[in-house]
Amino acid sequence: MGLVSCSRLQNEKWMNVKVGDIIKLENNQFVAADLLLLSSSEPHGLCYIETAELDGETNLKVRHALSVTSELGADISRLAEFDGIVVCEAPNNKLDKFTGVLSWKGSKHSLNNEKIILRGCVLRNTSWCFGMVIFAGPDTKLMQNSGKTKFKRTSIDRLMNTLVLWIFGFLICLGIILAIGNSIWENQVGDQFRTFLFWNEGEKNSVFSGFLTFWSYIIILNTVVPISLYVSVEVIRLGHSYFINWDRKMYYSGKATPAQARTTTLNEELGQIEYVFSDKTGTLTENIMTFKKCSINGRIYGEVHDVLGQKTDMTKKKEAVGVSVNPQADRTFQFFDHHLMESIKMGDPKVHEFLRLLALCHTVMSEENSAGELIYQVQSPDEGALVTAAKNLGFIFKSRTPETITIEELGTLVTYQLLAFLDFNNFRKRMSVIVRNPEGQIKLYSKGADTILFERLHPSNEDLLTLTSDHLSEFAGEGLRTLAIAYRDLDDKYFKEWHKMLEDANAAVDERDERIAGLYEEIERDLMLLGATAVEDKLQEGVIETVTSLSLANIKIWVLTGDKQETAINIGYACNMLTDDMHDVFIIAGNTAVEVREELRKAKENLFGQNRSFSNGHVVFEKKQPLELDSVVEETVTGDYALIINGHSLAHALENDVKNDLLELACMCKTVVCCRVTPLQKAQVVELVKKHRNAVTLAIGDGANDVSMIKSAHIGVGISGQEGLQAVLASDYAFAQFRYLQRLLLVHGRWSYFRMCKFLRYFFYKNFAFTLVHFWFGFFCGFSAQTVYDQWFITLFNIVYTSLPVLAMGIFDQDVNDQNSMDCPQLYKPGQLNLLFNKHKFFICMAHGIYTSLVLFFIPYGAFYNVAGEDGQHIADYQSFAVTMATSLVIVVSVQIALDTSYWTIINHVFVWGSIATYFSILFTMHSNGLFGIFPRQFPFVGNARHSLTQKCIWLVILLTTVASVMPVVAFRFLKVDLFPTLSDQKRLSLHKVAHCVEFISSGCFLSLWVSFVSRSASGRRLKRRQDPCVGESLRPGDQAREDLDMLLLTKRAMESLSHLEKICELKIHPRHQGWKRHCIIALAGLKIYVRKPQTQ
């Protein structure tokens, strides 16, 4: 980076840049600080930047220097002498706004965002530029935006934290019980051991002994607190994230874009979603805009009629307008109504003015490629569609500078002087340009939302307004995006006065935005209506199927869009969110809080009144207890209702005294559509549901206006569409098409939740079974804090012997495969109801672990009581007892995880059975003479494993312990599946039945009988016909052929059915059973020959 210093240019590091420095940037360099652009290599002080690091948008944006500073050029001496003073706003994080004034050479010049290059941008297509540092270091807007990110946690995370605290309390209770036991034991029994242990009278206090025992047992029993649980959970989540990244069925080949899990902490919450908040444009639709229709001066263009004058669909058989006569026309442009071209050729002034406005009123930048073709850099697909339409119809936008716009009108280059640009924002919902044409006339051209622009029309437009409004309703009914088009002729004197006030407002420091907005409002009035445009944005592939599937999974979809109501409703019907079978569709369109509240009240009365009238059981009304403050009435209506509310009504509905009514009604509806909403309102709706419904929410969008909604929801999903990557950068998960949401939730989300819950249940069970054996042993060892296991076993149990099997189950397990998860969305509901892991399930796991620990301790203890081994020696020693219990524990927990595993892979087999093998290999190694000889103090159990595990009675004890631990679980699960099967159990059972059917069919017996039956039936009928005296010579070969053809088709259908069964069950016929296929082929071939040549058979 070059820094101008002492009339020369020198290289400097970023860290040394400070406010007021003038630096030089070259093409493809990153900007080191927030700069005021002074000059550049391009004409008129223009430069092009890429802001992907700031907002994710890869399209180039233009910045231009003040005309007074662009004259400085690359003259280092003049730049070094630059002594302008900038008075500007304080450092802030607003990337799209800058307010300041440059004072230089006795004059003031207003500064805005178009004059500033922010840190993080990259200079593109510009050889060099110079700028003065406005903000540096932490004051830059990029660094101001790098604040603390809100960390999202799942409900399972919060529950785990609670349970760990409970377990810690449980550990303290165990320690207290054992400490009290030790004090009692020391007081009553311990005195008898003082002489043996060489203690003096009164040397050891029983209370102090209990105190020391408490801390000893806290250390011994600490394994009940699952410290390693958090590490294991993160490993499992990482594996689930990789599965999402590697899923080829979520890979979009059109853009070579795979799915991306941008976080590893929320995977299981994908299986608990209840509400989905979706943007429309670019999310449900492609956001690839196509100019379809327009209304100019009360006439619709874009409809194609047949010879009878009836409307017909536009087909590619007709030649698109402008392709044959305009060499610069876009070949992909599809507009087939040639009446518009005829009006252009006839010189219709309204049509010309309409197209002229489209070519002038925009923010598009143009450049030529190597082939000399015009390439448009657009910030919005809508603008690109309109400018491209004007280009194909003869009004070609060529270039722009800070002071001019050049277009080609029907072959003639015309340059307009750009006097003012009134930019678009979410509040204005319109944009305007003021230009002076070559004849000296000043024109204001404006386009924007019809509801906004129609309020600013001259009264003389009343008739045209009515006609155009009807056309807009027709366009919106077809799902097209509409804009109104208007203009105004300005008086030269009036404009000069207005422009002087605008310059003063721009130079102001206080209330600058309010003054500018007021001036914009003043000049954008008394407009003359020209017409309207209609742009098509098609639904993405698979949207209908995805919406239907998510609805079956009991997921409610709310659409939050900035489009007008008619367009949103039409898209709702196209997506099957809205249907004609719905009981009612409530439309809230009040203009005041009182009207909105009244409309909400009437909608609820209407809904409840209809529910009472239904007696067929399809609608259920449940009213729960009255709620406290800041909550909503928990009323659930099962029925098909929809709510549609527009932006200005939503603003009132989100007020404190009305929002509960809104939420109460909305949550009882199957579909909610919010139209004309701002980005802030999107976030407010999400927060409303998130706060009051206690439900897991997901927001999905593709543009910068969806970022606040994505960040507000529990889970944010970004679609890498046509509006850059800002939504993706703010999201937790990202992919290229809305249809992938179905697989993300119903497959990956459900699997992640299922696996995590099963992992947690087993992990808690294993820890309780392992640790509580020490507790029971304490009652038999004088509460002396003696461990029941070998120290090495305690160390290796969670790390080596049982860590990998549970990880394999948590990463790979599945109750049904991905296709069945997609085909049966109802399987998703247990996650929404949080059925698989909750406090109740935790206490069941705890009870299971306690029972297992009792069996593990008392069966070996009872079996070893006064028992001699096969050699007649006593085997009830501590070390043999410890080895027997440790071996029983490893086998029991391994059998238990084998029972818990629903889906076996080679990894599961290796980890489960390999863990048992590893245990025995380590056991014999640590109890070997050689290791004891090297480390006698660390491995005191020398020879014990070899001695104990060669005794048959030891193995009988291990077997009895395993059976007693596992059989109740097996019996309980068998009865539960048989008497109270879940939907998942039913699905697996049906699949097993189909699999057995396929195995029977593929076994060869069934198909041998079938082929034999086909052959005998065919030959038998032919023989019968030949022997029938009533038929004689009248029998025709064709009759025989038809009957045998029926048999042929029957056999063929059987084979097709079998292939289908193989496919849906994901089974392969064993090679030894493949012979039936050859028999079928031979039989079919024979029948085909017979049918083809019946006269020879």
Closest C-alpha among 312, 354, 587 to residue 468: 354
DSSP classification of residue 718: E
Per the CB < 8 A criterion, the answer to whether 830 and 982 are in contact is yes
Please state, as a whole number, how many other Cβ atoms lie within 10 Å of the Cβ of residue 278: 25
Please state, as a whole number, how many other Cβ atoms lie within 10 Å of the Cβ of residue 474: 17
Q: At residue 439, what is the residue type?
A: E
Largest CA distance in the chain: 126
Which residues in 220-313 belong to E strands, given as ranges?
260-261, 273-278, 290-296, 299-301, 304-305, 311-312
Q: Is 613 exposed, middle or buried (0-12, 13-18, 19+ CB in 10 A)?
A: exposed
Per the CB < 8 A criterion, the answer to whether 648 and 588 are in contact is no
Distance, CA of 716 to CA of 738 (rounded, Å)? 13
Calculate the CA dihedral of residues 704, 709, 712, 717 and round it to 10 degrees: -80
Cα angle 516, 519, 432 (rounded to 5 degrees) comes to: 90
Q: Is residue 713 classed as helix, strand or coil in its secondary structure?
A: coil
Please state, as a whole number, how many other Cβ atoms lie within 10 Å of the Cβ of residue 1082: 12
Q: Give the residue numbers annotated as catalytic, written as ranges.
A: 279
Q: What's the sign of the alpha-carbon dihedral 124, 125, 130, 134?
A: negative
Q: Is residue 581 classed as helix, strand or coil in its secondary structure?
A: coil
Alpha helical stretches, state H, 511-617: 512-523, 543-552, 565-574, 593-613
For residue 87, give Cα distances in angstroms to 113, 114, 503: 14, 16, 16
H-helix or E-strand spanning residue 964: helix 952-979
**DSSP bridge partners of 128:** 26
Q: 669 Cβ partners below 8 Å, 6+ apart?
A: 586, 641, 642, 643
Cα–chain center distance at 490 = 50
Please state, as a whole number, how many other Cβ atoms lie within 10 Å of the Cβ of residue 1004: 17
Half-sphere exposure of 1002 (CA within 13 A, CB side): 21
Per the CB < 8 A criterion, the answer to whether 71 and 82 are in contact is no
Per the CB < 8 A criterion, the answer to whether 748 and 814 are in contact is no
H-helix or E-strand spanning residue 412: strand 412-422
What's the token pair of residue 695? 């439900």
Closest C-alpha among 402, 432, 400, 425 to residue 414: 400
Calculate the CA dihedral of residues 446, 451, 456, 460 and round it to 10 degrees: 100
Buried b (16+ CB within 10 A) or exposed e, 111-121: beeebbbbbbb
Q: What's the sign of the alpha-carbon dihedral 419, 424, 428, 431?
A: positive
Cα angle 901, 905, 911 (rounded to 5 degrees) comes to: 75
Calculate the CA dihedral of residues 577, 578, 583, 588 and round it to 10 degrees: 110
**DSSP bridge partners of 646:** 675
Per the CB < 8 A criterion, the answer to whether 552 and 749 are in contact is no
Cα radius of gyration (the chain): 39
DSSP classification of residue 178: H
Closest C-alpha among 367, 365, 366, 351 to residue 410: 351
